[in-house]
Structure 1
Protein backbone atom coordinates (compact mmCIF):
# COMPACT_ATOMS: atom_id res chain seq x y z
CA UNK A 1 0.00 0.00 0.00
CA UNK A 2 3.01 2.31 0.19
CA UNK A 3 2.76 5.27 -2.21
CA UNK A 4 -0.94 4.54 -2.77
CA UNK A 5 -3.72 6.83 -1.54
CA UNK A 6 -6.95 5.54 0.02
CA UNK A 7 -10.22 7.44 -0.46
CA UNK A 8 -13.46 6.55 1.33
CA UNK A 9 -16.84 7.78 0.11
CA UNK A 10 -20.40 7.18 1.26
CA UNK A 11 -23.81 7.60 -0.33
CA UNK A 12 -24.17 10.53 -2.71
CA UNK A 13 -20.46 11.34 -2.43
CA UNK A 14 -19.80 8.24 -4.56
CA UNK A 15 -21.17 10.23 -7.49
CA UNK A 16 -17.98 12.33 -7.45
CA UNK A 17 -15.97 9.27 -8.53
CA UNK A 18 -18.64 7.34 -10.41
CA UNK A 19 -16.76 7.48 -13.71
CA UNK A 20 -13.53 6.19 -12.17
CA UNK A 21 -15.36 3.40 -10.35
CA UNK A 22 -17.32 2.37 -13.43
CA UNK A 23 -14.25 2.38 -15.69
CA UNK A 24 -12.31 0.22 -13.25
CA UNK A 25 -15.16 -2.29 -12.90
CA UNK A 26 -15.51 -2.55 -16.68
CA UNK A 27 -11.78 -3.15 -17.13
CA UNK A 28 -11.23 -5.69 -14.33
CA UNK A 29 -14.47 -7.63 -14.79
CA UNK A 30 -13.71 -8.13 -18.48
CA UNK A 31 -11.31 -10.87 -17.36
CA UNK A 32 -12.25 -14.43 -16.38
CA UNK A 33 -14.42 -15.45 -14.61
CA UNK A 34 -16.79 -12.49 -15.12
CA UNK A 35 -16.17 -11.88 -18.85
CA UNK A 36 -18.25 -8.71 -18.51
CA UNK A 37 -19.02 -6.72 -21.65
CA UNK A 38 -19.31 -3.50 -19.71
CA UNK A 39 -21.24 -0.35 -20.55
CA UNK A 40 -21.73 3.02 -18.92
CA UNK A 41 -25.49 2.41 -18.83
CA UNK A 42 -25.18 -0.87 -16.93
CA UNK A 43 -22.72 0.69 -14.50
CA UNK A 44 -24.95 3.66 -13.76
CA UNK A 45 -27.85 1.32 -12.98
CA UNK A 46 -25.74 -1.06 -10.87
CA UNK A 47 -23.98 1.61 -8.81
CA UNK A 48 -27.12 3.63 -8.09
CA UNK A 49 -28.01 1.47 -5.08
CA UNK A 50 -24.77 2.56 -3.40
CA UNK A 51 -25.36 6.22 -4.24
CA UNK A 52 -28.90 6.03 -2.82
CA UNK A 53 -27.76 4.47 0.48
CA UNK A 54 -26.32 6.88 3.08
CA UNK A 55 -24.79 3.87 4.88
CA UNK A 56 -22.87 2.60 1.87
CA UNK A 57 -19.10 2.68 1.49
CA UNK A 58 -16.85 2.90 -1.54
CA UNK A 59 -13.12 2.56 -0.98
CA UNK A 60 -10.99 3.79 -3.87
CA UNK A 61 -7.23 3.41 -4.16
CA UNK A 62 -5.21 5.89 -6.19
CA UNK A 63 -1.71 5.85 -7.61
CA UNK A 64 -1.25 9.53 -8.24
CA UNK A 65 -4.22 10.58 -10.36
CA UNK A 66 -4.99 7.01 -11.49
CA UNK A 67 -7.68 4.95 -9.76
CA UNK A 68 -6.18 1.46 -9.56
CA UNK A 69 -8.56 -0.30 -7.18
CA UNK A 70 -12.00 -0.03 -5.61
CA UNK A 71 -14.31 -1.90 -3.27
CA UNK A 72 -17.88 -1.34 -2.09
CA UNK A 73 -20.32 -2.44 0.58
CA UNK A 74 -23.65 -1.53 2.14
CA UNK A 75 -26.00 -2.95 4.77
CA UNK A 76 -27.91 -5.85 3.24
CA UNK A 77 -31.19 -4.32 4.46
CA UNK A 78 -30.54 -1.44 2.02
CA UNK A 79 -29.51 -3.67 -0.90
CA UNK A 80 -31.48 -4.83 -3.91
CA UNK A 81 -33.95 -7.75 -3.53
CA UNK A 82 -31.75 -10.06 -5.65
CA UNK A 83 -28.96 -9.63 -3.13
CA UNK A 84 -31.28 -10.23 -0.19
CA UNK A 85 -33.23 -13.22 -1.51
CA UNK A 86 -31.00 -16.13 -0.35
CA UNK A 87 -31.02 -14.67 3.17
CA UNK A 88 -34.77 -14.00 3.18
CA UNK A 89 -35.40 -17.60 2.09
CA UNK A 90 -33.50 -18.82 5.14
CA UNK A 91 -35.20 -16.46 7.56
CA UNK A 92 -31.97 -14.62 8.35
CA UNK A 93 -32.05 -11.19 9.96
CA UNK A 94 -31.02 -8.75 7.22
CA UNK A 95 -30.34 -6.04 9.79
CA UNK A 96 -27.25 -7.96 11.00
CA UNK A 97 -25.57 -8.37 7.61
CA UNK A 98 -23.18 -6.19 5.61
CA UNK A 99 -23.20 -6.96 1.88
CA UNK A 100 -19.84 -6.63 0.15
CA UNK A 101 -20.07 -5.60 -3.49
CA UNK A 102 -16.92 -5.89 -5.55
CA UNK A 103 -13.20 -5.65 -5.00
CA UNK A 104 -11.54 -4.70 -8.27
CA UNK A 105 -7.82 -4.12 -8.61
CA UNK A 106 -5.61 -3.72 -11.65
CA UNK A 107 -3.44 -6.79 -12.20
CA UNK A 108 -0.11 -4.99 -11.81
CA UNK A 109 -1.05 -3.84 -8.29
CA UNK A 110 -2.04 -7.25 -6.93
CA UNK A 111 -0.01 -8.90 -4.19
CA UNK A 112 0.71 -5.61 -2.42
CA UNK A 113 -1.85 -5.86 0.38
CA UNK A 114 -4.63 -3.86 -1.28
CA UNK A 115 -7.09 -6.76 -1.22
CA UNK A 116 -6.47 -7.29 2.49
CA UNK A 117 -7.06 -3.59 3.09
CA UNK A 118 -10.36 -3.75 1.20
CA UNK A 119 -11.59 -6.46 3.57
CA UNK A 120 -10.30 -4.56 6.61
CA UNK A 121 -12.12 -1.39 5.58
CA UNK A 122 -15.39 -3.17 4.84
CA UNK A 123 -15.32 -5.18 8.06
CA UNK A 124 -14.69 -1.93 9.95
CA UNK A 125 -17.71 -0.46 8.16
CA UNK A 126 -19.82 -3.40 9.32
CA UNK A 127 -18.76 -2.90 12.93
CA UNK A 128 -19.39 0.85 12.77
CA UNK A 129 -22.97 0.15 11.70
CA UNK A 130 -23.59 -2.58 14.27
CA UNK A 131 -23.51 -5.40 11.69
CA UNK A 132 -22.06 -8.74 12.75
CA UNK A 133 -22.10 -10.79 9.54
CA UNK A 134 -20.26 -9.99 6.31
CA UNK A 135 -21.30 -11.62 3.06
CA UNK A 136 -20.42 -11.44 -0.61
CA UNK A 137 -21.06 -13.55 -3.68
CA UNK A 138 -18.85 -14.70 -6.53
CA UNK A 139 -19.77 -15.93 -9.98
CA UNK A 140 -19.83 -19.67 -10.71
CA UNK A 141 -18.44 -20.70 -14.09
CA UNK A 142 -17.98 -24.14 -15.58
CA UNK A 143 -14.39 -25.08 -14.61
CA UNK A 144 -14.03 -26.70 -18.04
CA UNK A 145 -15.10 -23.58 -19.94
CA UNK A 146 -12.68 -23.14 -22.85
CA UNK A 147 -12.43 -19.43 -22.08
CA UNK A 148 -10.79 -20.09 -18.71
CA UNK A 149 -7.07 -19.16 -18.79
CA UNK A 150 -4.72 -22.06 -18.16
CA UNK A 151 -2.91 -20.11 -15.42
CA UNK A 152 -6.04 -18.87 -13.65
CA UNK A 153 -5.88 -19.02 -9.85
CA UNK A 154 -9.09 -18.13 -8.04
CA UNK A 155 -9.56 -16.26 -4.77
CA UNK A 156 -11.00 -19.13 -2.71
CA UNK A 157 -7.83 -19.64 -0.66
CA UNK A 158 -7.52 -15.90 0.04
CA UNK A 159 -11.15 -15.64 1.14
CA UNK A 160 -10.85 -18.74 3.33
CA UNK A 161 -7.72 -17.31 4.95
CA UNK A 162 -9.71 -14.17 5.76
CA UNK A 163 -12.21 -16.31 7.68
CA UNK A 164 -14.95 -16.55 5.04
CA UNK A 165 -16.73 -19.79 4.26
CA UNK A 166 -18.48 -20.72 1.05
CA UNK A 167 -22.22 -21.33 1.36
CA UNK A 168 -23.02 -23.66 -1.59
CA UNK A 169 -26.75 -23.63 -0.83
CA UNK A 170 -26.94 -19.82 -0.96
CA UNK A 171 -27.06 -18.72 -4.57
CA UNK A 172 -28.30 -15.52 -6.15
CA UNK A 173 -28.55 -14.69 -9.85
CA UNK A 174 -27.36 -11.62 -11.70
CA UNK A 175 -27.43 -10.82 -15.38
CA UNK A 176 -24.87 -9.13 -17.59
CA UNK A 177 -23.67 -9.55 -21.18
CA UNK A 178 -20.60 -11.70 -21.71
CA UNK A 179 -17.82 -10.36 -23.93
CA UNK A 180 -19.03 -10.13 -27.51
CA UNK A 181 -22.71 -10.40 -26.55
CA UNK A 182 -25.33 -7.65 -26.71
CA UNK A 183 -27.90 -9.32 -24.46
CA UNK A 184 -27.52 -10.08 -20.76
CA UNK A 185 -27.62 -13.68 -19.57
CA UNK A 186 -28.23 -15.11 -16.11
CA UNK A 187 -25.21 -15.97 -13.94
CA UNK A 188 -25.31 -17.94 -10.66
CA UNK A 189 -23.47 -16.24 -7.79
CA UNK A 190 -22.60 -18.26 -4.68
CA UNK A 191 -22.30 -16.52 -1.33
CA UNK A 192 -19.42 -16.52 1.14
CA UNK A 193 -19.95 -15.42 4.77
CA UNK A 194 -18.09 -14.58 7.94
CA UNK A 195 -19.39 -13.75 11.40
CA UNK A 196 -17.37 -10.95 12.97
CA UNK A 197 -16.05 -10.82 16.51
CA UNK A 198 -17.78 -7.69 17.80
Structure 2
Protein backbone atom coordinates (compact mmCIF):
# COMPACT_ATOMS: atom_id res chain seq x y z
CA UNK A 1 0.00 0.00 0.00
CA UNK A 2 1.33 3.42 -0.92
CA UNK A 3 1.78 6.21 1.60
CA UNK A 4 1.28 9.90 0.97
CA UNK A 5 2.67 13.01 2.62
CA UNK A 6 0.17 15.87 2.60
CA UNK A 7 1.67 19.36 2.90
CA UNK A 8 -1.25 21.72 3.42
CA UNK A 9 -0.65 25.42 2.85
CA UNK A 10 -2.20 27.89 5.26
CA UNK A 11 -5.09 29.91 3.91
CA UNK A 12 -4.23 33.29 2.42
CA UNK A 13 -0.56 32.66 1.63
CA UNK A 14 0.45 34.92 -1.26
CA UNK A 15 2.71 32.55 -3.18
CA UNK A 16 3.97 28.99 -3.44
CA UNK A 17 7.48 27.88 -2.60
CA UNK A 18 9.56 26.53 -5.47
CA UNK A 19 8.48 22.90 -5.47
CA UNK A 20 10.17 21.72 -8.67
CA UNK A 21 13.22 20.33 -6.76
CA UNK A 22 10.94 17.87 -4.97
CA UNK A 23 10.64 15.82 -8.15
CA UNK A 24 14.15 14.43 -7.79
CA UNK A 25 13.69 12.92 -4.32
CA UNK A 26 14.66 9.26 -4.00
CA UNK A 27 11.65 6.99 -3.64
CA UNK A 28 9.10 9.62 -4.67
CA UNK A 29 6.61 7.91 -6.97
CA UNK A 30 4.44 10.91 -7.87
CA UNK A 31 3.82 14.52 -6.89
CA UNK A 32 0.58 16.50 -7.18
CA UNK A 33 -0.11 20.16 -6.63
CA UNK A 34 -3.63 21.32 -5.77
CA UNK A 35 -4.65 24.99 -5.82
CA UNK A 36 -8.13 26.26 -4.88
CA UNK A 37 -10.72 27.00 -7.54
CA UNK A 38 -12.07 30.53 -7.56
CA UNK A 39 -15.54 29.45 -8.69
CA UNK A 40 -18.19 27.57 -6.70
CA UNK A 41 -18.89 24.07 -8.04
CA UNK A 42 -20.87 22.47 -5.22
CA UNK A 43 -24.51 23.59 -4.99
CA UNK A 44 -24.72 22.38 -1.37
CA UNK A 45 -21.53 23.88 0.03
CA UNK A 46 -20.52 27.52 -0.18
CA UNK A 47 -17.13 28.54 -1.51
CA UNK A 48 -14.78 28.20 1.45
CA UNK A 49 -13.10 31.38 2.65
CA UNK A 50 -10.52 29.33 4.54
CA UNK A 51 -9.43 27.09 1.66
CA UNK A 52 -5.76 26.10 1.85
CA UNK A 53 -3.47 28.16 -0.35
CA UNK A 54 -2.31 24.86 -1.86
CA UNK A 55 -2.02 21.19 -1.05
CA UNK A 56 0.98 19.08 -2.06
CA UNK A 57 0.71 15.30 -2.21
CA UNK A 58 3.96 13.31 -2.26
CA UNK A 59 3.43 9.59 -2.91
CA UNK A 60 5.90 6.88 -1.87
CA UNK A 61 5.67 3.11 -2.29
CA UNK A 62 7.22 2.50 1.13
CA UNK A 63 6.98 4.26 4.47
CA UNK A 64 10.74 3.93 4.98
CA UNK A 65 11.40 5.98 1.83
CA UNK A 66 8.98 8.66 2.99
CA UNK A 67 10.59 8.83 6.42
CA UNK A 68 14.01 9.14 4.80
CA UNK A 69 12.75 12.01 2.64
CA UNK A 70 11.32 13.89 5.64
CA UNK A 71 14.25 13.45 8.00
CA UNK A 72 15.89 16.45 9.60
CA UNK A 73 18.07 18.21 7.00
CA UNK A 74 16.85 15.66 4.45
CA UNK A 75 15.80 16.16 0.83
CA UNK A 76 12.42 17.77 1.53
CA UNK A 77 14.10 20.21 3.95
CA UNK A 78 16.60 21.12 1.26
CA UNK A 79 14.18 21.18 -1.66
CA UNK A 80 11.66 23.47 0.02
CA UNK A 81 14.17 25.56 2.00
CA UNK A 82 12.33 24.29 5.05
CA UNK A 83 12.56 27.37 7.30
CA UNK A 84 10.43 29.22 4.75
CA UNK A 85 7.56 26.69 4.96
CA UNK A 86 7.67 25.94 8.69
CA UNK A 87 4.98 28.48 9.51
CA UNK A 88 3.05 28.14 6.26
CA UNK A 89 2.23 24.42 6.06
CA UNK A 90 0.90 21.56 8.13
CA UNK A 91 1.88 17.98 7.40
CA UNK A 92 0.18 14.60 7.61
CA UNK A 93 1.27 11.15 6.43
CA UNK A 94 -1.52 8.80 5.42
CA UNK A 95 -2.04 5.34 3.93
CA UNK A 96 -3.52 5.39 0.41
CA UNK A 97 -6.46 3.28 -0.76
CA UNK A 98 -6.74 3.83 -4.52
CA UNK A 99 -10.26 2.58 -5.28
CA UNK A 100 -10.70 4.07 -8.76
CA UNK A 101 -7.67 4.75 -10.96
CA UNK A 102 -7.77 5.56 -14.66
CA UNK A 103 -4.74 5.73 -16.90
CA UNK A 104 -3.25 9.24 -16.71
CA UNK A 105 -3.14 11.55 -19.67
CA UNK A 106 -0.23 10.96 -22.02
CA UNK A 107 1.19 14.48 -21.88
CA UNK A 108 4.03 15.17 -19.47
CA UNK A 109 2.04 17.80 -17.57
CA UNK A 110 -1.73 18.06 -17.32
CA UNK A 111 -4.46 19.36 -15.05
CA UNK A 112 -7.62 17.93 -13.57
CA UNK A 113 -10.17 19.05 -11.00
CA UNK A 114 -10.23 17.51 -7.52
CA UNK A 115 -12.59 17.58 -4.58
CA UNK A 116 -10.59 17.12 -1.37
CA UNK A 117 -12.55 16.19 1.75
CA UNK A 118 -11.32 15.71 5.32
CA UNK A 119 -13.05 14.02 8.23
CA UNK A 120 -11.30 15.56 11.20
CA UNK A 121 -12.78 13.15 13.74
CA UNK A 122 -12.52 11.46 16.05
CA UNK A 123 -14.99 8.65 15.45
CA UNK A 124 -16.64 6.97 18.41
CA UNK A 125 -15.26 3.65 17.09
CA UNK A 126 -12.91 4.17 14.14
CA UNK A 127 -12.90 0.51 13.10
CA UNK A 128 -16.69 0.54 12.79
CA UNK A 129 -16.55 3.91 11.05
CA UNK A 130 -13.99 2.85 8.44
CA UNK A 131 -15.64 -0.52 7.75
CA UNK A 132 -18.95 1.19 7.09
CA UNK A 133 -17.37 3.89 4.96
CA UNK A 134 -15.47 1.43 2.76
CA UNK A 135 -18.39 -0.97 2.42
CA UNK A 136 -21.18 1.55 1.83
CA UNK A 137 -20.10 5.12 1.12
CA UNK A 138 -17.07 4.46 -1.08
CA UNK A 139 -18.99 2.24 -3.55
CA UNK A 140 -21.47 5.08 -4.03
CA UNK A 141 -18.66 7.57 -4.66
CA UNK A 142 -17.17 5.22 -7.25
CA UNK A 143 -20.30 5.62 -9.40
CA UNK A 144 -20.09 9.42 -9.67
CA UNK A 145 -20.42 10.34 -13.36
CA UNK A 146 -17.13 10.92 -15.23
CA UNK A 147 -15.03 10.03 -12.16
CA UNK A 148 -11.32 9.65 -12.94
CA UNK A 149 -9.87 8.81 -9.54
CA UNK A 150 -11.07 7.95 -6.05
CA UNK A 151 -8.65 7.65 -3.15
CA UNK A 152 -9.33 7.27 0.56
CA UNK A 153 -6.59 8.04 3.07
CA UNK A 154 -6.26 7.01 6.72
CA UNK A 155 -3.74 8.35 9.18
CA UNK A 156 -0.61 6.49 10.20
CA UNK A 157 2.17 7.22 12.66
CA UNK A 158 5.67 7.86 11.38
CA UNK A 159 8.77 9.91 12.04
CA UNK A 160 9.34 13.30 10.41
CA UNK A 161 12.05 15.90 10.81
CA UNK A 162 9.94 18.61 9.17
CA UNK A 163 9.11 21.39 11.59
CA UNK A 164 5.63 21.96 10.14
CA UNK A 165 2.84 21.28 12.65
CA UNK A 166 1.12 17.95 12.19
CA UNK A 167 -2.49 17.68 11.07
CA UNK A 168 -4.51 14.81 12.53
CA UNK A 169 -7.52 14.20 10.29
CA UNK A 170 -8.79 10.67 10.82
CA UNK A 171 -9.59 10.30 7.11
CA UNK A 172 -9.27 12.18 3.82
CA UNK A 173 -10.87 11.53 0.43
CA UNK A 174 -10.06 12.62 -3.10
CA UNK A 175 -12.35 12.43 -6.12
CA UNK A 176 -10.92 13.61 -9.44
CA UNK A 177 -12.56 14.76 -12.68
CA UNK A 178 -11.33 16.15 -15.99
CA UNK A 179 -12.41 19.71 -15.20
CA UNK A 180 -14.59 21.88 -12.98
CA UNK A 181 -17.69 21.40 -15.13
CA UNK A 182 -17.41 17.61 -14.81
CA UNK A 183 -17.05 17.93 -11.03
CA UNK A 184 -20.05 20.25 -10.85
CA UNK A 185 -22.15 17.83 -12.92
CA UNK A 186 -21.19 14.93 -10.66
CA UNK A 187 -22.10 16.92 -7.55
CA UNK A 188 -25.50 17.70 -9.05
CA UNK A 189 -26.17 14.07 -10.02
CA UNK A 190 -28.52 11.52 -8.40
CA UNK A 191 -25.43 9.71 -7.12
CA UNK A 192 -24.67 12.69 -4.89
CA UNK A 193 -28.21 12.44 -3.49
CA UNK A 194 -27.59 8.77 -2.65
CA UNK A 195 -24.32 9.71 -0.99
CA UNK A 196 -26.08 12.37 1.06
CA UNK A 197 -28.64 9.86 2.32
CA UNK A 198 -25.87 7.42 3.22
CA UNK A 199 -23.96 10.18 5.01
CA UNK A 200 -26.66 10.26 7.68
CA UNK A 201 -26.13 6.54 8.36
CA UNK A 202 -22.40 6.90 9.09
CA UNK A 203 -21.33 5.70 12.54
CA UNK A 204 -20.98 8.47 15.16
CA UNK A 205 -18.05 10.86 14.78
CA UNK A 206 -17.07 14.37 15.73
CA UNK A 207 -15.21 17.19 14.04
CA UNK A 208 -15.63 19.19 10.87
CA UNK A 209 -15.75 17.81 7.31
CA UNK A 210 -14.23 20.55 5.11
CA UNK A 211 -14.65 20.21 1.34
CA UNK A 212 -12.32 22.01 -1.07
CA UNK A 213 -12.55 22.11 -4.88
CA UNK A 214 -9.04 22.32 -6.33
CA UNK A 215 -7.23 22.64 -9.65
CA UNK A 216 -4.72 19.77 -9.71
CA UNK A 217 -1.46 19.70 -11.65
CA UNK A 218 0.19 16.38 -12.49
CA UNK A 219 3.62 15.84 -13.94
CA UNK A 220 6.28 18.49 -14.48
CA UNK A 221 5.84 21.23 -11.88
CA UNK A 222 8.91 23.23 -12.86
CA UNK A 223 6.87 26.32 -13.74
CA UNK A 224 5.46 26.49 -10.22
The TM-score normalised by the length of structure 2 is: 0.27
Which structure has greater helix proportion? 1
Structure with larger RCO (C-alpha < 8 A, sep 6+): 2
Question: Which has the higher Rg, Structure 1 or Structure 2?
Answer: 2
